[in-house]
Amino acid sequence: MYDVIVVGGGPAGSAAAIACDRANLRVLLLEKYPFPRDRPGETLHPGIEPLLDRLGVLEAVLSAGFLRHQGNWVKWERDLQFIPFGEDETGIWHGFQAWRADFDRLLLDRAIALGVKVLPPCHAVRPILCDGRVIGVETSQGIFEASVVIDAAGGHHWLAKQLGLNIKTYSQPLVARYGYVRGQCPIRERAPAIIADDCGWTWTARVRADLYQWTRLNFTIERIDRGWIPEEFANLQAVDKSRVADVTWRTIDRPAGLGYFLIGDAAAVLDPSSSHGVLKAIMSGMMAGHAISQIIEREARHQGDRNYSERVVIQEYCQWIRDWFGHDLARLTELYALLSDRNRSTTI
Ligand SMILES: Cc1cc2nc3c(=O)[nH]c(=O)nc-3n(C[C@H](O)[C@H](O)[C@H](O)COP(=O)(O)OP(=O)(O)OC[C@H]3O[C@@H](n4cnc5c(N)ncnc54)[C@H](O)[C@@H]3O)c2cc1C
């Protein structure tokens, strides 16, 4: 019997596991793939540093040799310009190009070092329910029970679908195509770029010494050809085939309920134009960890009063997710509205 089961060992899952462990809860984390495993989403805003510090991984991340950058090249409604992150008395702020296989490994290792039990590879099959409450998970390695199950399994919404929760969309279906190329591209050496055009936008970034990542999103229903590659990478060598991801703006109506919390992409997805997915995954993981520790602590203090305090904490967490999703949604809507009328009518 565990206090918490976390399904998924991405940034959201590891952050939640660390936060729960710090609150002295017994945590089991289930990850279906052996690590290291690949994920897109290397570019991290400097705002992630205080969170990594709180999780106790900042030193390890700083020592990992990830590329750093001072801002982004942006061509949106205006001509191409460099937008720096900013600076303060400590100096210029830098983002990270964190290779996800390594970054996610650092976070998971931290959770393991603290005492979180990790079962890789272990596939969560379905939740176990009792009187409308999630009480455990049936997995490829047997059945595990816990007071709370956290879904950190990403944007295919494992738990929301199993519980029949409402997945609400806020954009037309949006599919991003992404890929990697090897070689040298001097103009992309120092900072990533996002370039909008009449049909969508293209993101390009140098993510390792000789490796570059691109993402293309079309606002129109035109499909992006499998062989498509950004012009600036035309002379570089494609690494594997490009892939697609569903980045339709969406969130779950009730991201927490009796015995469960949804975090990271499992709770909400926006397209990656803002490069905030990992930051939000970590923030929501830490927030859920805090909420769960409050529930279990209050339960221990006021025996028999679990339902009341649990419902209050659940409401607060749901509101927090709705608030930040609503804020980011409004910001993204404003940004897209800056583009041409043609885009505006097809995007939202
Ligand atoms: C093309 C593209 C580019 C992006 N670029 C950026 C970027 O530059 N910066 C940024 O911050 N974000 C970016 N993102 C978003 C970012 O990738 C996600 O927001 C982030 O990975 C979410 O983290 P997570 O922990 O919620 O989920 P994930 O990283 O998806 O982790 C989920 C984990 O759960 C495991 N899992 C799934 N199902 C099960 C199961 N049934 N049982 C057990 N384990 C399971 C998976 O193996 C995986 O390890 C991008 C996304 C895309 C598609």
Q: What is the pLDDT of residue 304?
A: 58
Q: What is the pLDDT along the chain (348 residues), one digit of tens a residue?
A: 899 999 999 999 999 999 999 999 999 999 999 988 889 999 999 999 999 999 999 999 999 999 999 999 999 988 999 999 999 999 999 999 999 999 999 999 999 999 999 987 999 999 999 999 999 999 999 999 999 999 999 999 999 999 999 999 999 999 999 999 999 999 999 999 999 998 899 999 999 999 999 999 998 777 888 889 999 999 999 999 999 999 999 999 999 999 999 999 999 999 999 889 999 999 999 999 999 999 988 777 766 566 668 999 999 999 999 999 999 999 999 999 988 655 544 444
Closest ligand 1 atom to Cα of 12? 25
Q: Does a structural domain hold residue 236?
A: no
| Nearest in space to 76 (alpha carbons), one of 335, 276, 275 | 335
At 296 the pLDDT is 86
CA 265 to ligand 1 centroid distance, Å = 7
Residue 145 domain flag: yes
For residues 179 and 233, the answer to whether their CB atoms sit within 8 Å is no
pLDDT given for residue 275 in this prediction? 82
What does R_g of the chain's alpha carbons equal in angstroms?
Answer: 21
pLDDT at position 300 is 75
- Ligand 1 atom nearest to CA at 269: 19
Q: Is 41 left (phi over 0), alpha (psi -120 to 50) or beta?
A: left
Per the structure, the complete domain to which residue 281 belongs is given by 2-66+98-171+248-342
Quick one: how far is CA 17 from the chain centroid? 15
Q: Which of 14, 35, 39 has most ligand 1 atoms within 8 Å of CB, for mutation?
A: 39
Mutation choice for ligand 1 from 29, 265, 273, 284, CB with most ligand atoms inside 8 A: 265
* Domain-located, residue 336: yes
What is the pTM assigned to this prediction? 0.95
CA–CA separation, 146 vs 136, rounded Å? Answer: 5
Alpha-carbon span 156 to 163, nearest angstrom? 13
Ligand 1 pocket mutation, candidates 18, 31, 38, 213, criterion most atoms within 8 A of CB: 31
How far is ligand 1, taken at its centre, from the CA of residue 156, in Å? 10
In a domain, 193, yes or no: no
Among protein residues, the one with the nearest Cα to ligand 1's atom 31 is: 10
Residues with CB under 6 A from ligand 1: 7-13, 30-33, 39-44, 123-124, 152-154, 158, 176, 178, 215, 245, 247, 264-266, 272, 275-279, 281
Backbone angles phi, psi at 129, to 5 degrees: -115, 145
- Residues 6 or more apart whose CB falls under 8 angstroms from that of 170 comprise 249, 250, 251, 329, 348
Question: Is 198 among the domain residues?
Answer: no
Residue 269 lies in a domain: yes
Q: Is 206 helix (H, G, I), strand (E, B) or coil?
A: strand
Residue nearest to atom 17 of ligand 1 (CA): 41
Tokens of residue 284, six digits: 């929501």
187, 41 contact by CB (below 8 A): no
| Total number of domains constituting the chain | 1
pLDDT of residue 348: 40
CA-closest residue to ligand 1 atom 33:
8
Ligand 1, atom 29: nearest CA belongs to which residue? 10
Q: How far is the C-alpha of 260 from the C-alpha of 136, rounded, in Å? A: 10
Distance 313 CA to ligand 1 centre (A): 26
Residue 11 CA: nearest ligand 1 atom is 25
**How far apart are the CA of 155 and the centre of ligand 1, in A?**
7
Residue 115 sits in a domain whose CATH number is 3.50.50.60
Query: Which atom of ligand 1 is the closest one to the Cα of 284?
Result: 26
Within a domain: 123: yes
Q: Tell me whether residue 347 is in a domain.
A: no
Most informative mutation of 262, 275, 284, 287 for ligand 1 (most atoms within 8 A of CB):
275
Q: Which two three-digit tokens encode residue 107?
A: 């976070």
Q: Which of 347, 336, 306, 312 is nearest to 147 (CA)?
A: 306
